[in-house]
Structure 1
Amino acid sequence: MTNSALVGYARTSTTDQKAGLAAQLRDLEQAGCTKIFREELSSVAATRPQLEAAIEWVREGDTLVVTKLDRLARSVADLVSITEELRRKGVGLRILAMNLDTSTPTGKLMLNLLGSIAEFERELMLERQREGIAKAKVDGKYKGRQPTARAKAEEVMQLRAEGKSANDIVAALGISRASVFRILAEADRT
């Protein structure tokens, strides 16, 4: 059996927040983290390479440790996604400021509650969206998404008849390769 490790993750939004990063590093070291991943970028960044590296690095039995929830996740849904990935790997999560540890029954309960709240929020948002669309349709203001590629089906067929490749058609019409192949496949079926 391998030894389990406490692995820290620290993040600040900007490089100007050196004191905040130093405080996180101190707290993670005091918590017993033997390896710490750190990054200085906004949580809204498309990717967080060091978080991805930390999740990749941890092994079954390890625990990922963060000082506060907002250092780890952008939203409750993001938290649920991250913790699901950790759970699949057999890795625990500790959030120091919340005293939350998913290796305990109480920690698992708290995380499940957060996940349920996220799912509830999503369902409410989708329900409001459906109601808004229905009202807009009744008022004649909602037409739905316009099928941009299908409107160009004749042009796709013409360019193909001229011997153009799929890449040439994509470049000429500004539609995706998938749309080109879908139009061609539908034409072959008729």
Structure 2
Amino acid sequence: MSTYGYARVSTADQDLTIQREALKAAGCEIIREEKISGTSRQGRAELKTLLEFLREGDTLVVTRLDRLARSMDDLSSIARELQEKGVALKATEQPVDTSSAAGKAFFQMLGVFAEFETNLRRERQMEGIAKAKAEGVYKGRKPSIDVDEVKRMRVEEGMGATEIAREMGIARTSVYRVLS
């Protein structure tokens, strides 16, 4: 029976030190870390490796449930996998310990709140973008294709879409989109 830790931050410029120290203090023998968004399990290689490696009687420790997953679906899925393997889940900053009935109940409640928080953040972001657009501040992404150059190459030089795409280093479908 071993104790493993999982630490995650969302961006490369964030620091894992606080999580790492908390997990070591909780007795984690091995700590897997990654710097990637937790909104989905996709691309989280360290989590995948850890979930494949855990065996019956092991314990997975995180500092908070939102380090493990940001959606209730992902959190439930991970918890189900752990339960099927006979692995306990604990959080150092929350009273979560799925080896007890109370811990399981609290785990479910925290998962619901984590998803709620994510949804609220997304709504606030969309409201901010809408407001900025209305005020003319938000212009979106800068164009990556010089539309005038594509048209000039077509009209003045008589180049075809494939040739223009190759010359400008863009997709042929982008050339067709500009020319239509």
Task: List structure 1 segments (4+ residues) > 6 angstroms apart after TM superposition.
Answer: none
Q: Distance in 1 between matches of 2:22 and 2:109?
A: 26
SS in 2 for 1:97: coil
Choose from 84, 94, 97 the match for 1:98: 94
- Structure 1 length normalisation: TM-score? 0.55
For 1:83 and 1:114, how far apart are their aligned partners in 2? 13
User: Which AA in structure 1 matches 2:34?
Assistant: E
Alignment correspondent of 1:39: 34
Match of 1:67 in 2: 63
**Number of residue equivalences:** 113
How big is the shift at 1:36?
Answer: 0.6
- Displacement, 1:113? 4.9
| Identical amino acids, percent of aligned pairs | 47
Change (3 A) 1:107 1:90: same
The root-mean-square deviation of aligned C-alpha atoms, in Å, is 2.0
Segments of structure 1 that go 5 or more residues without pairing to the other structure are: 122-190
Alpha-carbon distance change, 70 to 113 in structure 1, aligned in 2, over 3 angstroms: closer
Q: Does 1:24 align with 2:19?
A: yes
Secondary structure, aligned partner of 2:107: helix
**2:39, 2:71 within 8 Å by CA — same for their partners in 1?**
no
Taking structure 2 as the reference length, the TM-score comes to 0.58
Q: Is the 8 A contact 1:6 1:33 kept in 2?
A: yes
Q: Name the structure 1 match of 2:145.
A: none
Relative to its length, the structure with more helix (as a share) is 1
Q: Distance in 2 between matches of 1:112 and 1:17?
A: 27
